[in-house]
Structure 1
Amino acid sequence: MLNAMRRGVTFVLYQLTLMLGILMMPVALFARRLGVSLPVGRLVEAAGTAYERAKSRKHARVN
């Protein structure tokens, strides 16, 4: 039960970071013109990795 909640929360956080990345796209493009790089891509990648780990833990316990 706790693992299912953790996996669900991780999935929601991953979806929120994807939404944040999409919403921040104009800001990131403008910042790139100014020579500044925003770490939004790394944030989305880290959230995706966390979700994949949570998902693989479920499969490891089932098998």
Structure 2
Amino acid sequence: MISRVYRATLFALYQLCIVVGILAMPVAMAARQAGVTLPIHQLLANLEDAYEATQSP
């Protein structure tokens, strides 16, 4: 039961990060022109790895 809740929470966080990344696109483009990158891709990669680890039997 706990693993099911954990998996659902990770999936929701992953989807939320994707939405935040899309909404932050204009800010990220302006930041990149200023020479700063936002680490959203690292957050997404970490959440994706954690979610995929819960899928393994």
* Alpha-carbon shift at residue 45 of structure 1 (Å): 1.0
Deviation at 1:35, TM superposition (A): 0.6
Distance 1:20 1:54 in 2: 23
Partner of 2:22: 22
Structure 1 position 34, deviation (Å): 0.5
Question: 4+ residue runs of structure 1 moved beyond 4 angstroms?
Answer: none
TM-score scaled by length of structure 1: 0.83
Q: If you compute each CA radius of gyration, which structure gives the higher value, 1 or 2?
A: 1
Which residue is equivalent to 1:7?
Answer: 7
C-alpha distance in 2 between matches for 1:45 and 1:24: 17
Residues paired across the two proteins, number:
57
Structure 1 counterpart of 2:21, one-letter code:
G
- The 5-angstrom pairing of residues 16-55 of structure 1 reads 16-55=16-55
Query: What amino acid maps onto 2:51 in structure 1?
Result: Y
Question: C-alpha distance in 1, partners of 2:2/2:31?
Answer: 40
Q: Distance in 1 between matches of 2:20 and 2:9?
A: 16
